[in-house]
Structure 1
Amino acid sequence: MSVAYKLGDLVWAKMKGFSPWPGRVAIPTPELKPPKKAMNVQCIYFFGTNNYAWIEEHNIKPYQEHKEQLIKSCKTAAFKEAVAQIEEYIENPEKFGDFDEHARNPEEEFDKLKDVMKEDSSDEKPPEEEITTPEVKKKSATPKIRLGISKVKSIKRSSSTGLKGTPRKKVKSISRSFTDSDMANEKPSMLNHSFSKKSSLLHRPSNILRPETPPLDLENVSETLLEKNIKASQMKFGFLGLGIMGGGIVKNLLNSGHKVLVWNRTGAKCKDFEKVGATIAVTPCDVVEEADITFSCVADPQAAKEMVFGNCGVLHCPSLEGKGYVEMTSIDADTSHDIVEAISGKGGRYLEAQIQGSKTQAEEGTLIVLAAGDRSLFDDCQSCFKAMSKNSFYLGEIGNASKMNSVLQVVGGVSLAALAEGLALADRAGLSQADLLDVLALTPLASPHLILKGRAMIESSYSTHQPLTHMQKDLKLALGLGDALEQSLPLTATTNEIFKHAKRLGYANHDVAAVYIRARF
């Protein structure tokens, strides 16, 4: 049964690629032109973001009626802020003033808009929405279609970044029906930053939303793991770090029958692993003391050093005699040498085991392990490596695994930056980005990884599988290696600057595919 919406109604409105969002039926700004051939649409003001957009009525639901169901559909901070704002509006609407102050007579203007939309319905052009945020006014015979904001704050200038604004976004009309299942299952997505040719190069995103990374399903055993038929070692293993990579690795260790003792800086993460068989330790020192072999997989070289040398770290263990310590954090060779000296100095065994892959490969158990150091420890870890990877390589002396990982990250980082620039150039030239990927998939340059990241770029799907900041960190480590060896790395240096810029734009914790945003400026 269709609902007749009127000016001021509070609703849940869904744009393609976004979760249902709290909004209000409103009068659009004068520059937000009605979409062509779209009869059943409403202009929606979105709480929290202060944005306006035309939304088809089958993608709109009454707010109070669907509140209990849809308030759980997204857990981002921006979504929670929007819900808090609409609830505050319900309690005290006077506090928000007049949303539609740009219309002298709201009801009369609302009726006029309906008449305009009827007249435009005879136009044969395909329907499309164009959404932008306020920008510096330019003289033009044809007014731009903009995403209006009733109260526009002045745009401040910055000596380093220029005008701070939000880039324009062009999206096609919504054709998918707004069903209850869609509302319940839709994952949050950030704005698709696709810009017109006349877009200012100084504009950049001001409100950056990162879709939540899907939670780890600890009880689901991957088919790949089942096919491996692993005979688990009877030793007890410790694991420090349950992040994007560590969580998936520990899941496969547990599902393959290994005994695992876990620690994480955020203790709450350990509870879920405890439910599926892991034991929780209070400190890294406790993990090493109770385990035969301990793996470490944390954020960066500094965090890796803290696990060993910090308060309650590995070196505080009463005895390391015969114990194994495996460093899986992406680190440089110098850091690895510092750790091995400390571990071996107390009678322990050390192995650096760098991993190639992303969140998906960690969960499926299809990583690549690059190991160097104590060969006996490498052999003792074989059942674990088999559970977490599709292959493991022993590369000899300490430092070789870190160096190999850096070289591979150079190739991966430069390739992603090149793909992002290629997609941006295609879009600017008026070519279909989807067609570009289809053609690329048939050429010798085809790579499942690049095609996957390319899809993520054109769909603005930046749910984190490999954090952009981690790639930039690895490029920085590679440059350090190049400096030490007096090896010129001009492409790596340029790529590192591209990723650094993407981080400065606010995409550090998004997926590496978000480097595409940098290519748009």
Structure 2
Amino acid sequence: MDFNLKIGDLVWAKMGSFSYWPARIVQPGPDTPTKPGTRECQWVYFFGSKNYAWIVNNKIEPYVECKEKFSKVNKTSLFKKAISDIEDFIRNQAEDPNYSLQHDVSIEEEDAEKSSEKGSEKNSNKQTPKKTKKAAPVKRQNSDAGSVRNSSSRATKKPRTSSGFEENGFSDSTGQSVGKASSFGISLEILNRPSIIDEPEVSSVNLNSNLELLNTKNITASRKRFGFIGLGTIGSGIVKNLINSGHKVNLFNRTSEKCDDLKKQAENDINKAGLVNTYITPCDVMQNSDITFNCVSDSNNAKAVVIGNCGITKAGDLLDSEGYSKGYVEMTSIDPQTSKDMCEIIKSKGGRYLEVQVQGSKSEAEEGSLVVLAAGDESLFFDCQSCFKAMGKMAFFLGEVGYATKTNIILQLMKGIALAGLAEGFALADRCGISSKDVLSIFNLTNLACGYLSHKADLIVKQDFKHAEESTKHMQKKLQLALDLSDQLKQPLLMTSTANEVYKHIRRMGYDDHDASSVYMRVRH
């Protein structure tokens, strides 16, 4: 902020971690709460919600100059109403320089009424005329705007107190109550919800990115034809490394544009031309491949790929032209029982089945540094060695079907609980007034620090959740798989149950496709 603040200025004011809100600097009244702390503050009136608060100077920006910057950071109906109200005020004041806020006038009348009532208590023989305020008509608001009451419906007038915002849990960054509730009774619940400013980023696959590690592996590509179904967060990175290492890949994805884009990139490179083909159904991929990988979002989609209308089993017997069994590799994060059921289906069609679970994030998938956990048909595991070498730094064969999925669930359980604990720590530091950047610097010097938690802590400090390494919905899904497994084994998982509820809540707040570190927004707010 590099402008002089004065009474009457129209501004954008920011309360704590909430988004900037249209406001006006006003003159404090006799009942205004004391300024919090020793910092320079302004008494601010918020348009739309019609509430007041002390706001520190460095959280105030000029309205006109910053209109384009802040007018689109919030999509709630109350925020849109606030924009409309401040624009109406600007127009009215341009027509009449003496125009003032109706809400300010009503507050002054209430103060006069209150003083009159106090005078009547001191001198019962003296009659003081009482000013009657006609209640302004209040339009019914939708659920986003909170609860709305008409003040005239109350039998007796509730005295105004200096802790109106405290009842709604609205305080400044020091935790002190900072304002009065509106005489119109508009709830501040909408202001207490963290806004989602950034949409999650959806990046395209670039075949020429992150090739350093892959080039050091000296991979000899298998001559077999490999199918790949699912180009999501992990799948797209794996396919990129399969193509760059010289494997022939047949692709299917529900969004065909991703497949077409990869094929176009491959055709434009003389070393990769002819390596990529695209098909319109999973069945077509299976028919034209020796080994097919499936990497979709959840168990239901995985089942649809196998037994759906255009699933791989519609190709008939899973045998190649020479009568050898085709291979099917399930890479989706699924529960052990579903994996066993699919294994039986594949084997009944003459095919071979391998469950593969990978440990790592989106960036590790793109770099080719995943950890591969496999179980099932051992011959198929060895047939896929060149693929595993392209996608990861180590591949483990764990035995019969079910062991890879169970191991993956256990590791994801640990990761989810650790991340929720990390978020709670930073939320507590923020409430204590301790700099999150200082906490992060100290954290990285301790033996608590590891690549995963340090990276997530950095995202929490920056509150940059749109670059999803692992989405919130996938993290919560894996915790639910752990709870389902615990039910079968009658093993209590108290911490997992609590963490699962926290992740479910942040998903309900709209952070499904953001990075899982956005769980901080739930524990903080």
Distance 2:75 2:47 in 1: 13
2:216 and 2:161 map into 1 onto residues whose CA distance is: 62
When structure 1 is superposed on structure 2, of 353-362 and 397-406 the one drifting more is: 353-362
Give 1:317's aligned amino acid. A
Over residues 455-497 of structure 1, what are the superposed CA-to-partner deviations in whole Å (9 max), with x where a residue is unaligned? 1112111121101111111111111111212222111111111
1:501–1:518 Cα contact (<8 Å) kept: yes
Q: Using the TM superposition, give the Cα deviation of residue 430 of structure 1 relative to its aligned residue in structure 2, in angstroms.
A: 2.2
The equivalent of 1:309 in structure 2 is 307
Counterpart of 1:514, as a letter, is S
Aligned runs of 1:410-425 on 2, under 5 Å? 410-425=413-428
Are the aligned partners of 1:289 and 1:319 in contact in 2 as well (CA < 8 Å)? no
Q: Which residue of 1 aligns with 2:117?
A: none
Which residue does the alignment assign to 1:220?
Answer: 208
3-state SS of the aligned residue for 1:262? Answer: strand
Q: In the alignment, does 2:504 pair up with 1:500?
A: yes
Confirm whether residue 139 of structure 1 aligns to residue 142 of structure 2: no
Aligned equivalent of 2:478: 474
CA–CA separation in structure 2 for the residues paired with 1:468 and 1:270: 25
CA 1:37/1:408 → structure 2, altered by over 3 Å: closer, same or farther? Answer: closer
**What are the Cα deviations for residues 242-300 of structure 1, in whole angstroms up to 9, with x where unaligned?**
11111111111111111111111122222211212332100011111111111111111
- Describe the shift of the 1:236–1:497 C-alpha distance in structure 2 as closer, same or farther (beyond 3 A): same
Query: Greater CA deviation, 268-277 or 384-393?
Result: 268-277
Are 1:221 and 1:255, in contact at CA under 8 Å, matched by a contact in 2? no
CA contact (8 A) 1:135 1:165 kept: no
Counterpart-to-counterpart distance in 2, 1:230 and 1:209: 43
1:449 aligns with 2:463: no
Distance across 2 between alignment mates of 1:106 and 1:335: 72
CA deviation string 1:401-451 (max 9, x = no partner) = 000000001110110111111111122222222222222222222111111
C-alpha contact (below 8 Å) 2:200/2:513 kept by paired residues = no
1:220 offset after TM fit, Å?
A: 2.1
Q: Would you say the 8 A contact 2:93–2:99 is kept in 1?
A: no
The 3-state SS of whatever aligns with 1:218 is: coil
Matches within 5 A, 1:79-478: 97-98=88-89, 139-140=162-163, 154-155=186-187, 164-167=189-192, 205=193, 207-213=195-201, 215-222=203-210, 223-277=212-266, 278-321=276-319, 322-463=325-466, 464-478=468-482
Deviation at 1:211, TM superposition (A): 3.5
Letter in 2 for 1:208: I
SS in 2 for 1:335: helix
SS in 1 for 2:394: strand
Give the corresponding residue for 1:490. 494
Task: State the Cα RMSD in Å.
Answer: 5.0
- TM-superposed deviation, 1:164: 3.6
Alignment match, 1:181: none
Change (3 A) 1:416 1:101: farther
Kept in 2, the 8 Å contact 1:301–1:335? The answer is yes
Give the C-alpha shift of residue 506 in structure 1. 2.1
Relative to 1, partners in 2 of residues 1:428 and 1:386: Cα closer, same or farther, differing over 3 Å?
A: same
Off by >3 Å, runs of 4+ in structure 1 = 26-31, 53-63, 77-82, 96-109, 133-138, 140-147, 152-155, 209-212
State whether residues 146 and 189 of structure 2, in contact with CA within 8 Å, keep that contact through their aligned partners in structure 1. no
* Distance across 2 between alignment mates of 1:227 and 1:460: 35
**Separation in 2, partners of 1:373, 1:59:** 63
Residues 121-178 of structure 1 deviation map (CA, whole Å, 9 limit, x = unaligned): xxxxxxxxxxxx999996259997899xx9x9944xxxxxxx74233xxxxxxxxxxx
Q: Residue 195 of structure 1 corresponds to which residue in structure 2?
A: none
- Deviation, 1:508, is 2.0
Q: Distance in 1 between matches of 2:352 and 2:298?
A: 21
Structure 2 SS opposite 1:355: strand
Question: TM-score scaled by structure 2?
Answer: 0.68
Percent identity over paired residues: 45
SS of residue paired to 2:261: helix
Instruction: Kindly tell me the number of residue pairs found equivalent between the two proteins.
Output: 431
Q: Structure 1 residues 140 and 375, CA, compared in 2 at 3 Å: closer, same or farther?
A: same
- Structure-2 separation of matches of 1:79 and 1:286: 45
CA distance 1:474–1:106, shift in 2 (3 Å): farther
Supply the distance in 2 between the matched residues of 1:443 and 1:421 (Cα, whole angstroms).
Answer: 18
Task: Report which of the two structures shows the higher radius of gyration computed on alpha carbons.
Answer: 2
Describe the SS at the equivalent of 1:340: helix
Closer, same or farther in 2 for the Cα pair 1:46/1:244, shift >3 Å?
farther
Q: CA deviation at 1:304?
A: 0.8
CA contact (8 A) 1:216 1:248 kept: no
Aligned-partner residue type, residue 245 of structure 1: I
Q: In the alignment, which residue of structure 2 is the partner of 1:117?
A: none
The one-letter amino acid paired with 2:385 is Q
Asked if 2 retains the 8 angstrom alpha-carbon contact of 1:299 and 1:329, the reply is: yes
Change (3 A) 1:442 1:239: same
Q: Is the 8 A contact 1:164 1:206 kept in 2?
A: no
Counterpart Cα distance in 2 of 1:360 and 1:354: 16
Query: Is residue 100–residue 106 contact of structure 1 (8 Å, CA) maintained in 2?
Result: no
TM (norm. structure 1) is: 0.68
CA distance in 2, matches of 1:517, 1:79: 16
Closer, same or farther in 2 for the Cα pair 1:444/1:29, shift >3 Å?
same
Q: Provide the residue aligned with 2:121 in structure 1.
A: none
CA spacing shift, 1:30–1:293, aligned 2, 3 Å: farther
Give the deviation of 1:62 after TM superposition. 9.7
Q: Given the superposition, is the C-alpha separation of residues 282 and 426 from structure 1 closer, same or farther in structure 2, using an over 3 Å criterion?
A: same
Following TM superposition, by how much is the alpha carbon of 1:240 offset from its aligned partner in structure 2, in angstroms? 0.8
| Alpha-carbon offset, residue 78 of structure 1 | 7.3
Measured at CA, do residues 208 and 106 of structure 1 come closer, stay the same or move farther in structure 2, by a change above 3 Å?
farther
User: Residue by residue, what CA displacement relative to the aligned partner does 1:72-129 show, whole Å, maximum 9, x if unpaired?
Assistant: xxxxx979999xx9xxx9xxx99x74467699966999xxxxxxxxxxxxxxxxxxxx
Cα pair distance change 1:218/1:135, threshold 3 Å: same
Matched position secondary structure for 1:368: strand
5+ long unaligned stretches in structure 2: 3-16, 29-34, 49-54, 101-144, 149-159, 173-177, 267-275, 320-324
CA distance in 2, matches of 1:253, 1:46: 56
Distance 1:106 1:390 in 2: 71
Residue deviations 1:50-79 (CA, integer Å, cap 9, x gap)? xxx98899999799xxx9xx9xxxxxx979
CA contact (8 A) 1:288 1:314 kept: yes
For 2:449 and 2:465, locate their aligned partners in 1 and report how far apart those are by CA, in whole Å: 21
